[in-house]
Amino acid sequence: MKIIMLIAFLIASINSFAEEKITVSVGLTPAGSFQAVSKKLKGNLLKENGAFSADKISVTVESLKTGIDLRDEHLWKHLQSVKHPKVTLYNLKAQGGKGTALLEVNGVKKPVGISYAEKGPEVLAKFRVKASDFALPKADYLGVGVDNIVAIEVSIPFKAR
């Protein structure tokens, strides 16, 4: 009985290390970069027969933090958070390290290709998007602009069915 309780405790401990997190890496022109991070993802990633799926995974725009309050406000304004408060990934289907989903940003939905790796009780997914594909206004502040290609990493625990 003690061994079963120890195994259950170890499994629960391993699962507690799984962390929901999205990191958006943004390049700046003429030089520089920053990351916006949120640990407030909503949605469930399911694993069944080696395949992953999710109906919907979302994050509120204003939960994305860059470490600088003024830059946060510019990011939220650029992503039009008042009109479109969430960024959402729909109909995620993935297997064998690759997947597809529909990404909605600023009210615009576009298909995205995703690569991923299973790391213990979570999945680390990566994909790139073109900001211009989502009808976002041009970003320019004091002569500093934003690169059109944005890299996104999502770490999310999964549930086995």
Token pair belonging to 21: 């997190």
H or E element at residue 43: strand 42-43
- Tell me if 131 sits within 8 A of 146, measured CB to CB: yes
Instruction: Indicate the domain borders of the chain.
Output: 19-160
89-125 confidence digits (pLDDT tens): 999 999 999 999 999 999 999 999 999 999 999 999 9
Tens-digit pLDDT profile for residues 25-38: 999 988 899 999 99
How far apart CA 40 and CA 98 sit, in angstroms, is 24
pLDDT tens string 74-90: 999 999 999 999 999 99
Q: What is the pTM of this model?
A: 0.85
Amino acid at 149: I
Sign of the four-CA dihedral 10, 11, 13, 17: positive
How is domain 19-160 classified at the CATH fold level? Lipocalin (2.40.128)
How many C-beta atoms lie closer than 10 Å to residue 143's C-beta? 7
